[in-house]
């Protein structure tokens, strides 16, 4: 039987993976924006969607343990906004991602 991963490790993994992707995008971009070498909007959206799914699962697990994170927008609402904000989608994804990483950082210290 597989060993269960601690919630602290899940939070740390989400923070680390999200920061790595965003840092790489910043490094490849120009002046905080998209440039050749960056992921396309569709690529970053697909990666973010997968990351956000893990984020939501961790949020539910945290709630079950009495730690509440209340993201400003649900994943469904974010996806609707991203659908209509096609031109700004790349920047919106990065904005949401940064926001959720900060939410995780705020609770990461207390659960250690």
**pLDDT at residue 40, rounded to an integer:** 86
pLDDT of residue 1: 42
Total residue length of the chain: 112
pTM of the model: 0.85
Q: Is the dihedral of CA 62, 66, 69, 75 positive or negative?
A: positive
pLDDT at 56 over 70: yes
User: Torsion angle, CA of 6/12/17/19, rounded to 10 degrees?
Assistant: 170
pLDDT band at 47 (very low <50, low <70, confident <90, very high): very high
Predicted pLDDT at 2: 46
Q: What is the pLDDT of residues 10-25, one digit of tens each?
A: 999 999 999 999 999 8
The per-residue pLDDT for 84 is 84
Give the span between the Cα atoms of 38 and 30, in whole angstroms.
10
Q: What is the pLDDT of residue 90?
A: 87
> What distance lies between CA 40 and its chain's CA centroid?
17
- What is the residue extent of each domain of the chain? 7-108
DSSP label at 72? Answer: S
Mean local confidence (pLDDT), 65-82: 87
Q: Read off the pLDDT band of 98 (50, 70, 90).
A: very high
């Amino acid at each position: 039987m597989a060993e269960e991963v601690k919630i602290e490790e899940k939070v740390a993994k989400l923070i680390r993976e999200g920061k790595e992707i965003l840092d790489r995008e910043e490094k490849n971009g120009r002046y905080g924006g998209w440039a050749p070498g960056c992921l396309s909007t569709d690529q970053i959206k697909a990666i973010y969607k997968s990351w956000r799914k893990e984020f939501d699962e961790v949020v539910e697990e945290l709630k079950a343990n009495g730690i509440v994170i209340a993201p400003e927008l649900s994943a469904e609402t974010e996806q609707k906004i991203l659908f209509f904000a096609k031109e700004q989608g790349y920047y919106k994804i990065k904005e949401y991602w940064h926001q959720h990483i900060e939410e995780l950082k705020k609770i990461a210290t207390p659960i250690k």
